[in-house]
Amino acid sequence: MYICICNALKDKELAAASGGARTVADVFRRCGCRPQCGKCLPDVAQMIEDARALENDRLPLAAE
């Protein structure tokens, strides 16, 4: 499904680029483009948060 219509970026592309990204600009930079109208920015920001949550779930717990 297209998330960013202006740059023709699909959810799978953006999800792959959001892993390890700190900002929305990082995601677009990894995709080789820049945001245009901005309507997709909240969705991309949510993808970054989801990727962070997934990474945190995978981290081993520190020994007590």
Structure tokens at 25: 């600009």
**Among candidates 21, 61, 39, which has minimal Cα distance to 13?**
21
Q: Does the predicted model carry a pTM greater than 0.75? A: yes
* Domains defined along the chain, listed by start: 2-58 (1.10.10)
pLDDT, one tens digit per residue, over 17-63 is 998 899 999 999 999 999 999 999 999 999 999 988 888 877 666 55
Residue 12: which pLDDT band, with cuts at 50, 70 and 90?
very high
Handedness of CA 4, 42, 47, 18 (dihedral sign): positive
Whether the predicted pLDDT of 64 surpasses 80: no
Q: How far apart are CA 63 and CA 61, in angstroms?
A: 6
